[in-house]
Structure 1
């Protein structure tokens, strides 16, 4: 079952896009692919998984959509049904994998249409392209599930009523659409790499989806610096995915990870893409530089914190966010000492946008522990526990809290979460 869930996650967006292109209705396409996945759960364990799962799902989903459309068009009369039969006759045939992937690219840019507001763009992309559940999308957007479900329904209706085409926009419109698509891809990856809640320390299927989508966009836009920067960032982070969790399912801090087990091929590809990203003025390049500094450091002790702090300064110039400032404070503490880091954190910790975030209190606790002040660190670890919904992160914070009570001043530190870009 877990394996099939991964297959469905991987194939979902392409299948919905292919069926939507065929029938012209996002709701019908989504429902049909959902039915096809249910049919696969029944048939594949008995008959074996098909050689090309995506093509199988598209074929079955298209049949389901055809049956539904025929039933619906039969009610008002036979003229529309005849038109539908003509369309079916001209488009029926085996699903072609490369055509399915092209359809997915069209879907990604359709969801980024400027007629939709930004939250709707995000929600629709995460649902239709990446197959995230409404619960997962609500968590990513910090909205209620009811609000997210309603937003997705309204967005699909707007696409249908406004006759928004399912297509990659012409070259002159790419600059206004591409940033949204990149942001959605990174959201998919980060929800897999740093789950915000739940029992899993890493969600491999979402990481794989984020890596795949970033690669497809990079291939489609080979000369776009920001796309190259995002692809580099994703690959450099993902290069150490397998070392972030121990055999008991617990998070392994960055400085405790076995660097010999990091994926050197992904690091090499990430560095190559980083060179292609020169000239980018967005947020992904400085984040990729930070990830590269970690990926290429021979040890935690020899990490180039100066380069990392400079990259944070550049990131702040592009995005003056309290989250970035808090992350920068940690980097300053690791470069210049805990006292300097705490002073930098004081300038942002009262920002109301961080009022419910575990980030500032976790950083403060870590810097106090590093400063040899475990009694002062302990209450901040307790507050971080209260604010953090991730079970693996809570387990790690309890370990830190136990260390403080035992006055154990070991050198390790909690690996930064999704808002800490290293």
Structure 2
């Protein structure tokens, strides 16, 4: 019997909890992951007919633990197998609790995220390991999402696992200092899904959706953390425009030309509520501020109704916290909308030596076009098109350049 979508969603949500429980108890990241996959396959085969057990997490942990101990036994000599089997007998905490007892209040998903985002790993390795271990994506799925050969992604995941081997599992000391790296990893996954950096598709919805799902999980574990709420709000408020961002042939539609009736109002309402509550606590962080900016855009009835003065004020605060070139480039657009394109261009030119990639020239072209300098704008658009690996962005930028040449 084939599994149902409800069971698939349940298994996907439980997988990181089960993997975290096994890694916490036994170590052996690779072997634990294999055992969890076997348990998930067993559940997918049995639950549609037999029914979902009362404690699905406990069922999965029990089955995975048995598979793991069997695998570990097979790697040892007879005497060593017997000693290891005795040492690795699962404790009661890792099986279904007796009737009347509650399951552990907090699962190990957050600890697993900290492990996957260990500071010894590079950002690409953190992303790959997070999607594999916490997101439950196969290596082939991750490779397709990032347009690299499966063998390359498999090596990346394998090297990441090797680097975290021996790292103590659990919330690290001073975990709040490391939480930003977890949030940044989720943000990078979302950004790649929302606007793919290369390839024929403008968006990779599976990646964006997975980032939202994982961030919801973290928010559920840390409901009082303002930056977690801010990141979830930012994702929801940004992803709410997803359906309006591309035309029938996949062409890019900029924000001021989008059909706002196609925006997801439920996602906007949820995102606005999240960021409003977070900001009311008086500890604004970068993700909260970015979410507040997105909320101003989403709540405007039309491009002309956008409160650019408020957006500029929010960018002023954001740049004070995160004075990076990307934040300052975005602020330059707000400066142009409030004080005119030449004021924005002054800000853009100040970034010429700091920012690489196509976005600087794309913004420069936009502001030059608004300033009534078509030849310079066309050159900037063409330069930006030559720098991006995204085919929809290339087509959009070249179309803008061609219009100015007519």
2:327 is aligned, of 318, 324, 328, to: 324
1:27 is aligned, of 25, 30, 36, to: 30
SS of the aligned residue for 2:376 comes to: helix
Change (3 A) 1:101 1:196: farther
SS of the aligned residue for 1:102 comes to: coil
How far does the alpha carbon of each residue in 1:304-342 deviate from its partner, in whole angstroms, 9 at most, with x for none? Answer: 111111111111111111111122112222222222211
Is the contact between residue 115 and residue 164 of structure 2 (CA under 8 Å) also seen in structure 1? no
CA distance in 1, matches of 2:145, 2:78: 36
Change (3 A) 1:125 1:90: closer
Q: Is residue 70 of structure 1 aligned with residue 73 of structure 2?
A: yes
Q: Report deviation, 1:296.
A: 0.5
Change (3 A) 1:379 1:322: same
Q: Report deviation, 1:295.
A: 0.6
Is the contact between residue 244 and residue 259 of structure 2 (CA under 8 Å) also seen in structure 1? yes
CA distance in 2, matches of 1:253, 1:323: 18
Change (3 A) 1:178 1:139: farther
Q: Report deviation, 1:255.
A: 1.5
Name the structure 2 match of 1:106: 111
Q: Report deviation, 1:30.
A: 3.2
Q: Is residue 243 of structure 1 aligned with residue 244 of structure 2?
A: yes
CA distance in 2, matches of 1:341, 1:239: 28
Name the structure 2 match of 1:413: none
CA distance in 2, matches of 1:72, 1:107: 26
Is the contact between residue 14 and residue 100 of structure 1 (CA under 8 Å) also seen in structure 2? no
Is the contact between residue 73 and residue 82 of structure 2 (CA under 8 Å) also seen in structure 1? no
Name the structure 1 match of 2:381: 381
Change (3 A) 1:233 1:90: closer
Deviates more, 1:314-323 or 1:385-394: 385-394
Aligned residues: 381
Name the structure 2 match of 1:400: 400
Name the structure 1 match of 2:135: 130
Change (3 A) 1:124 1:145: closer
Greater relative CO (CA pairs within 8 A, separation 6+): 1
CA distance in 2, matches of 1:152, 1:314: 36
Q: Report deviation, 1:303.
A: 0.9
SS of the aligned residue for 1:77 comes to: helix
Is the contact between residue 128 and residue 153 of structure 2 (CA under 8 Å) also seen in structure 1? no
Q: Is residue 309 of structure 1 aligned with residue 312 of structure 2?
A: yes
Name the structure 2 match of 1:372: 372
Q: Report deviation, 1:101.
A: 8.2
CA distance in 2, matches of 1:82, 1:186: 41
Unaligned stretches of 5+ in structure 1?
407-422
Is the contact between residue 246 and residue 252 of structure 1 (CA under 8 Å) also seen in structure 2? yes
Is the contact between residue 137 and residue 148 of structure 1 (CA under 8 Å) also seen in structure 2? no
Change (3 A) 1:76 1:255: farther
CA distance in 2, matches of 1:17, 1:90: 13
CA distance in 2, matches of 1:402, 1:12: 50
Name the structure 2 match of 1:360: 360
- The correspondence of residues 74-89 of structure 1 with structure 2, limited to 5 A, is 74=77, 77-83=80-86, 86-87=89-90
Name the structure 2 match of 1:419: none
CA distance in 2, matches of 1:398, 1:9: 42
Q: Report deviation, 1:298.
A: 0.9
Q: Report deviation, 1:10.
A: 6.8
Q: Report deviation, 1:89.
A: 9.5
Q: Report deviation, 1:154.
A: 3.4
Name the structure 2 match of 1:230: 231
Q: Is residue 295 of structure 1 aligned with residue 298 of structure 2?
A: yes
CA distance in 1, matches of 2:89, 2:42: 27
The CA RMSD measured in Å over matched residues stands at: 3.8
Q: Is residue 271 of structure 1 aligned with residue 272 of structure 2?
A: yes
Is the contact between residue 74 and residue 81 of structure 2 (CA under 8 Å) also seen in structure 1? no
CA distance in 2, matches of 1:58, 1:389: 43
Q: Is residue 220 of structure 1 aligned with residue 221 of structure 2?
A: yes
SS of the aligned residue for 1:205 comes to: helix
**TM-score of the superposed pair, with normalisation by structure 1:** 0.76
Q: Report deviation, 1:271.
A: 1.5
Change (3 A) 1:373 1:35: farther
Q: Report deviation, 1:376.
A: 1.8
**TM-score of the superposed pair, with normalisation by structure 2:** 0.78
Unaligned stretches of 5+ in structure 2?
98-102
Change (3 A) 1:64 1:193: farther
Is the contact between residue 73 and residue 80 of structure 1 (CA under 8 Å) also seen in structure 2? no
Q: Report deviation, 1:287.
A: 0.7
Change (3 A) 1:191 1:62: farther
